[in-house]
Chains A and B, each alone.
Chain A
Amino acid sequence: MKARIENIEPLSATIKRFTLAPEAAKLFPAGAAGAFILLEIPGPSRVWKNAYSLISGGRRETYEIIVRRVAHSRGGSAWLHDHAAPGQLLEISEPANLFPIARAAQNHLLLSAGIGITPFLSYLPVLQAHNLGFELHHCCKQDEQEIFRPLLPNLPNVTLHGSRNSLDLTALLSAQKLNTHLYVCGPEAFMDGVIAAAKKIGWPDAKIHEESFGGATGGAPFRVNLARSGVALEVASDQTLLEALESAGLQPPRMCRGGACGVCELPVLEGVPDHHDHFLTAAARAAGKSIMTCVSRAKTPELVLDF
């Protein structure tokens, strides 16, 4: 569906808030807490599809997203920062949700770092409106505290940390009761750290909810051979495997484009995948028999896929 950029508000040199409005006088479909949309971003030679969490909750008149300009951007976030302007029309997907609030939980512990705060901005009004027990800890760089502070409600159970060191993860995670669920969103290293600490303390998988859209950063180019389609392709360094398949006119399975949903999984027949997703289990990663084409790449010069 089409959306018009209504407003662009810089929150810092590298972070901007975008307000999108439906074309004509329609309403957008409502997104639940934790939902994201895919934004099609027109580049000079190609289109990027990036996932962004809706921070506007269930509001249907406008959608709001926050975009950080990624240092080694493949182009999408750089275009939004440098070329997007109010009035422009963009193609967006309907909201999907891979990171909903677990409503069976009685207490919710939210841990985020950096731009990973965005899904929680849609959680907070829901948790407050339903009077659900929660605690939010947001970590950011020392000099970014003033960017995030205005986004957060001033509550005793919401804490902003100017460095990861001021958050004693093990103590916080150990002190939680059996009725708490854990939600993690942020850069890969932060998420890996939180999840490893939680598992060491005995948190069961069913109570750890994670989301990250940071995996598709590009990398060394590699070749891919599609055994069933009989097609051989080059995956360029600024392109994902999924994008290479799509640009060859193929219709591989895909949804979130961020290594979270698991829809794009394809079987690997030869070669060693370089996994960047958050979907496969440790055992499945080690086995190397399948790959998430949206974010993962290759450790060998060539991959042969059953597609």
Chain B
Amino acid sequence: MGLNKSRPIYQKLQLDPQGRAHLIVTDLDALPEDVIEADLALSNIESWVVARAAPGIAASPPGSRAFRSVADLLSHLAHHLAREPVGLRLYAAGTEAFLWDVANIARAAGLSQDEVFLTQAGSLRRRVYCTHCKSINEDVTTNIATCRACGAHLFVRDHFSRRLAAFMGVMVDAEMPGEIPAIEVIYP
């Protein structure tokens, strides 16, 4: 059986006791407790969530900060990492596209792999990269997606790019135009 080396394998998040400050970010509206083993003995823990529906900034519990959108959270993250001193550990929980957007921001800010921890939570929906027109298609839940830029019918492969934080989409009817297999929701 072929091993898919491009798919990252995620573990439950465990806070690293070597860190002196911990920032947990998620694209959900609350921390997904089922994938985080919080060590209550650790201090200096902050969490960032996305509260989409909230009118204005929702009241957040202490140590928690709510952002209006994922884009808002990510842009604050880049600024935050540029100012923080060494010792911070960054944790991300959410969709795969979000995880690798966070990882890429962290890497650009100079964090090493020892300082960033990722775990998948919530929806399995995929960001899909059209290998024909190089466009990004967000929030794909089906096995076959229509590219929003060039209209190609894309088979959503398991081939994942960490740099693009996206799965590769390849034309499904290149051989027989119009012959498209049944479309199903397989990444709810």
Partner-B contacts on A (CB < 8 A): 105-107, 173-180, 199, 201-207
A204 engages B18 (CB within 8 Å):
yes
A204 to B17, CA, bound (A): 11
Q: Which residues of B contact A (CB under 8 A)?
A: 18-21, 81-89, 109-115
Select from chain B the residue with minimum beta-carbon distance to A182: B86
Complex Cα gap A292–B85 (Å)? 35
Q: Which of B20, B83, B110 contacts A202 (CB 8 A)?
A: B20
Q: Which of A107, A175, A199, A201 contacts B110 (CB 8 A)?
A: A107
A102 to chain B: closest residue by CB: B112
Please indicate the chain B residues that have their CB under 8 angstroms from the CB of A207 in the complex.
86, 112, 114
Give every chain A residue within 8 A of B115 (Cβ-Cβ).
178, 204, 206
Q: List, in ascending order, chain A residues with CB within 8 A of B114's CB.
A: 204-207
- A201 interface neighbour in B83, B87, B111, Cβ under 8 Å: B87
Known: A105-B110, A206-B113; 20 extra A-B contacts, CB below 8 A, are A173-B86, A174-B86, A174-B87, A176-B86, A177-B110, A178-B84, A178-B88, A178-B109, A178-B115, A179-B82, A180-B86, A201-B86, A202-B20, A202-B86, A202-B89, A203-B86, A204-B112, A205-B114, A206-B114, A206-B115
A106 in contact with B87 (CB, 8 Å): no
* A203, B87: Cβ atoms closer than 8 Å: yes
Q: Measured between alpha carbons, how far is A182 from B109 in the docked complex, in Å? A: 16
A206 closest partner in B (C-beta): B112
Closest to B86 in A: A176
CA distance A173 to B86 in the complex (A): 8
| Given A177-B82, A178-B81: A202 in contact with B112 (beta carbons within 8 A) | no
| Cα distance, A303 to B81, chains bound together (Å) | 50
Docked pose: A179 CA to B18 CA in angstroms: 18
18 CB contacts below 8 A, A to B, read A106-B110, A107-B110, A173-B86, A174-B85, A178-B88, A178-B115, A179-B82, A179-B110, A201-B20, A202-B18, A202-B19, A202-B20, A202-B86, A202-B89, A203-B87, A204-B18, A204-B112, A207-B112
Cα–Cα, bound, A266→B156 (Å): 49
Contacting pair A179 B109 (CB below 8 A): yes
6 shortest A-B CB distances, which residue pairs? A179-B110, A202-B87, A204-B114, A206-B112, A202-B20, A206-B114
A87 to chain B, nearest CB (A): 48
- Taking CB atoms, residues of chain B closer than 8 Å to A180 are 86, 110
Closest to B114 in A: A204
Q: Contacts A204-B115, A206-B112, A207-B112 given: A177-B18 contact, CB under 8 Å?
A: no
A176 pairs with B85, CB closer than 8 A: yes
A179→B82 CA distance, assembly (Å): 8
For A109, give the chain B residue with the smallest CB separation: B86
Give the shortest distance, in Å, between B86 (CB) and chain A (any CB): 5
Q: A204: which B residues are within 8 A, CB to CB?
A: 18, 112, 114-115
With most chain B CB atoms within 10 A of its CB, the pick from A178, A179, A203, A207 is A178
Chain B contacts of A106 at CB under 8 A?
110
Q: Which residues of B contact A206 (CB under 8 A)?
A: 112-115
Shortest B144–chain A CB gap in Å is 38
CB pair A177 B20 closer than 8 Å? no
Determine how close the nearest CB of chain B comes to the CB of A218; give it in whole angstroms.
Answer: 35
